[in-house]
Amino acid sequence: MKRKLLFVCLAAALTVLVGVSSAQAESVYNIEWQYDQFAFVPCANGGAGEVVELTGTFHEHLNTTVNDNRYVWRLGSNFQSVSGVGLTTGDKYQGTWTWKFQYSTSVDTPQFTNNFQYVSALHGPGPDNNYSVKFLYHVTFTPDGTLTSSLDVTDVSCD
């Protein structure tokens, strides 16, 4: 997985180098790979929690755009058909996961905005067996050097 992430980062860097020399350029990359990871669900197993092995397909989309004075880099990831089994109870889980990142900057001034959104959920059988995590983070650096950031939404829940 690290090797594929490195590929995405190198592709983005190459796009910037090629794109800056032209008036406008756009590049799109789509990558999929097999996902096999472990996750802890604290509300499962009657509140004792359990480790769930998740398998399926992980999809990543990278879009870079450069025009006369703006550079925008968008990265999005999501699960596709990811499911799992609890290692303690044998319960079946369905995984959903989305991750979105956008970086936008001016080529002419030291100004940028950054947005990061993360939503993850594991859905198990019965009540109190679902676990979700959500947050949205925003960073802005203005031309006058002011840096602002905010954690706009945070939600971690078991239901």
Tell me what pLDDT residue 23 has: 56
State how far the alpha carbon of 117 is from the alpha carbons of 74, 114, 139, in Å.
Answer: 12, 10, 12
Task: Give the closest residue to 80 by CA, choosing from 61, 53, 58.
Answer: 58
What does the pLDDT read at residue 149? 84
Residue 13 has pLDDT above 50, yes or no: no
The reported pTM is 0.69
The yes-or-no verdict on residue 48 having pLDDT over 90 is yes
- Mean pLDDT comparison of 84-93, 99-108, 111-120, 124-133, highest-scoring range: 84-93
Please state, as a whole number, how many other Cβ atoms lie within 10 Å of the Cβ of residue 87. Answer: 13
Considering only residues 38 and 7, tell me which one the structure prediction assigns the higher pLDDT.
38
Q: Is the pLDDT of residue 8 over 80?
A: no
Percent of the chain with pLDDT over 70: 86
pLDDT digits (tens, 9 = 90+) for 52-99: 999 999 899 999 988 878 888 899 999 888 999 999 999 999 999 898
